[in-house]
Chain A
């Protein structure tokens, strides 16, 4: 007997693992992405993630249009975050061009942004329930979600893509005679919130499927730069609304919500993700209420005429950054304006899913194939927000680039666009 065979440990034999592909088209995924899981029985021992299936070149398209056209395009980066991207984008452009936004417009932007958080988190909760095979909860949650969609339609005219923010303000008012509709919807949610918490957090079968599943420790969340509810579920007190208040958030005392607010120790698992998102719905209701009660009077736009606005933007030059706490986490838009041209010189979008992508790896490892759908859903991924790159060679074959090469390529690009 030689030494090699003595030192061989259980699980070292390579033949025991096999690979199961999930995606780009799979019932567990709402949008295309490809996972490749190495399985030992039902246990995940390795995972490879391949994004890039929903790349549409939207930044490039935006740079071929005038700024107001690009604004409408920014709304179409994602259907669920259809206010988050324009909010970050308008802030970036206003920041670059030095345009002031009237207080009333800031409050209205906040109201719509928080309403979006309500419906986005409820959408997520329903999807999560479906991934667990709990369709009853999916249907009930989405039924409840309709109220926020109806309210958004009442206030903006649209259920998605609200077309509310514009550079220097907002396009539509929230008139006093419609405020009672908003209060009605808020009361509806307040009365249902305890029921939702009972249905999700005090349900034995949900707890069995989500507790200690897809855990992300505090250190891992920090190390991998996770954002939004994904980071907060791990106990990281990180929220743009708290850390760098903007819009109406500066007038309120916003605190990042972690599972500690529910009275439990943060573990970063799927259960904690549910806690954080449900409590954030409650927080959003409070924010909307505050905004409605303290809605300042005044104008909606500091430059109300569109030709004047376009002219002002054409004259402006410089770079600007806009940040917004989207339902999924921090979204950042970077823009560079060049004097004398109507188009953007540079537009860079970093969606929250991009930051949370790597958090998937520790979340998946060690869990079972049965946990794949709910762990994939736990970061509330949005591929169409995130996919900014797709690599292909002339023959159409996809290629893989390693870190050094990617760094070199991105530096080259930065030099190119910064002239």
Chain B
């Protein structure tokens, strides 16, 4: 028993360090590629590591008006929540470490925790910019959570109707039964629509342009993060990096759980794992590239009202339509 526990602790540590490392690399890639697309040279790939090291040695300022314990606690909560998320996701095609202890619904809730932590931290900062940012983050959450929930639930519902009795909300089950192969033509279109909705929710979940409204540098000087500095800021920075991996992995697990090893005929063994992990990294990168990097280069920041309208009407509409098509697919 203690051996299993020790094993789990080791695996957990590897996942945490690996996930963080990956997130930082993807963040570096994001900055470099965005710069190249904008006609700039951009920072070196390891700039995010330099940034975190620098933030760590910088002074950690707590404003006089802040509620100090809440202000200091929230970066930790945020980092802990995204760290926990890593344990529930099939990273690199492996079984999630805590796959047996939670499902998609838990992931949905855990995804909301970092945003809520930022909101509380923003309100606790006692600065008008942070307050405006926190209000905006709340509105954003109310806007994008609905299409996100519809997307995840529709997938689970479809699988439950195909495989009654299965643990349909378990990511392992969802990932090992890709829906693309199970649905008919109507369901295929439905799945595509749900995928689109998830791709549009991704930059909002990650607070990237055009949905970086709660942070909006030119408007509210970093908003929620305006008063954060030093160690606290570094934790939010790391949480942001990990969240990128989480959103990428979630999309990959739900829509592209395919491995390459079977196709190449090297199932099992070290090489099979290496190929699958490499393919997984590429898949996550492709998702991040199209959902985050290209989008943030191609758009201006929206206003909070415009973003909320966008999510409440067209995006919710798209995901609802996807859900209806999936239902029709079962009936027809």
- Which residues of A line the B interface, CB within 8 A? 18-21, 26-28, 42, 129-137, 139-140, 143, 203, 205-206, 208-209, 368-373
Contacts and interface: CB of A to CB of B under 8 A. Distances in A.
Interface string B291-308: 000000111111111100
B2 interface: no
Interface in B20-73: 37-40
Contacts of B189: none
B116 interface: no
Contacts of B40: 139
Interface in B127-166: 128-129, 132
Contacts of B300: 129, 132-134, 137, 203, 205-206, 208-209
A134 B302 CA distance: 10
A20 B217 contact: no
Contacts of A209: 300-303
Nearest to B136: A42
A134 B299 contact: yes
B305 to A, nearest CB: 7
Contact of A140 (B39, B128, B216): B39
A209 B299 CA distance: 11
28 contacts: A20-B128, A20-B129, A20-B132, A27-B218, A28-B218, A28-B219, A42-B132, A42-B304, A42-B305, A133-B216, A133-B300, A134-B300, A134-B301, A135-B38, A136-B37, A136-B297, A139-B40, A205-B302, A208-B303, A208-B306, A368-B305, A369-B132, A369-B219, A369-B220, A370-B219, A370-B301, A373-B218, A373-B219
A368 B303 contact: yes
A363 B209 CA distance: 26
B38 A21 contact: no
Nearest to B299: A205
A371 B302 CA distance: 10
Given A139-B38, A203-B300, A208-B303, 19 more contacts: A20-B129, A21-B128, A27-B217, A131-B218, A132-B300, A132-B301, A133-B209, A133-B210, A133-B300, A134-B299, A136-B37, A136-B298, A205-B210, A206-B300, A208-B302, A369-B132, A370-B213, A370-B303, A373-B219
B212 A133 contact: yes
Interface residues of B, number: 28
A84 B132 CA distance: 40
Interface in B202-245: 209-210, 212-213, 216-222
A133 B38 contact: no
The 7 A-B residue pairs with the shortest CB-CB distance, nearest first, are A133-B301, A134-B300, A132-B300, A205-B300, A139-B38, A373-B218, A370-B303
Contacts of A206: 300
B218 A139 contact: no
Contacts of B218: 27-28, 130-133, 373
Contacts of A373: 218-219
A18 B128 contact: yes
B228 to A, nearest CB: 15
Contacts of B210: 133, 205
B303 A143 contact: no
A7 B210 CA distance: 43
Contacts of B306: 208
Contacts of A134: 299-301
Nearest to A29: B218
B36 to A, nearest CB: 11
B212 A370 contact: no
A140 B39 CA distance: 7
Nearest to B217: A27
A371 B176 CA distance: 47
Contacts of B128: 18-21
A318 B179 CA distance: 88
A28 B129 CA distance: 13
B93 to A, nearest CB: 35
Nearest to A127: B218
Contact of A27 (B39, B221, B303, B304): B221
Contacts of B219: 28, 369-370, 372-373
Nearest to A373: B218
A208 B299 CA distance: 11
Contacts of B221: 26-28
B227 to A, nearest CB: 14
Contacts of B301: 132-134, 209, 370
A373 B302 CA distance: 13
A204 to B, nearest CB: 9
A132 B298 CA distance: 12
Nearest to A18: B128
Nearest to B306: A208
Contacts of B39: 139-140, 143
A254 B302 CA distance: 38
A148 B254 CA distance: 51
A19 B127 CA distance: 11
B296 to A, nearest CB: 9
Most buried by B among A131, A136, A208: A136
A147 to B, nearest CB: 14
Contacts of A26: 221
A370 B38 contact: no
Interface in B88-141: 128-129, 132
A206 to B, nearest CB: 6
Nearest to A203: B300
A106 B128 CA distance: 52
A229 B92 CA distance: 56
A250 to B, nearest CB: 41
Contacts of A140: 38-39
Contacts of B209: 133
A224 to B, nearest CB: 25
A143 B209 CA distance: 22
Nearest to A28: B218
A240 to B, nearest CB: 32
B4 to A, nearest CB: 49
Nearest to A42: B304
Interface string B173-216: 00000000000000000000000000000000000011011001
B120 to A, nearest CB: 19
A131 B212 CA distance: 13
Interface in B270-288: none
Given A20-B132, A21-B128, A371 B217 contact: no
